[in-house]
Amino acid sequence: MNLNPFRWSFRARCFLGFVLCAALIGFAIFSQMQWGLQPCPLCIFQRIAFAALGLVFLIGALHAPRSLGGRRAYSMLALVTAGIGAAISGRHVWLQHLPPDQVPACGPGLNYMMEAMPFLGVIRKVLTGSGECANVDWSFLGLSMPAWSLVWFVLLAFWALNAASTRR
């Protein structure tokens, strides 16, 4: 087997994308369970976006279309999903960089909002952010967890675009 991932088949590239998404979700759950980092609503939406992206990669790996059009369709679906995740992460990073006097007030928890509000209202409320989303509880190499999520969404989007160009 070739060790250069840029020479792998579409199936192998999609499977690697799925494994990366699963590992990122696993790290988020590990940090919640082991380190006590409770996810804010935007963090939960980022996990959902990683799960959706991983699902697209997994289905692409299982299907492994032979036609260039089929591979491009999966890659574009992954690109759109990664773009949505990047937008959520970008919003989260933006909230974390607001001056303290401009941070929105803390809102109710996601569970309460799901019970008390319609689904689209919950999405709108979560995407506007709250004070708890502006807290930086963890960082690595100077980047917060949402910033790392943004980096990974961008990398996975490029990986999906690269997978579309494979001939196998």
Compute and round to an integer the Cα radius of gyration of the chain: 17
CA distance 37 to 48: 17
14 is catalytic: no
11, 13, 47, 91: the active-site residue:
47
13 is catalytic: no
Residues 6+ apart with CB under 8 A from 50: 21, 24, 25, 28, 85, 149, 152
106 is catalytic: yes
7, 106, 124, 168: the active-site residue:
106
11, 13, 14, 43: the active-site residue:
43
* HSE toward the beta carbon, residue 84, CA cutoff 13 A: 15
11, 13, 40, 91: the active-site residue:
40
21 is catalytic: no
Using a 10 angstrom Cβ sphere, with 0-12 exposed, 13-18 middle and 19 or more buried, the burial of residue 16 is middle
Enzyme catalytic residues: 40, 43, 47, 106, 133
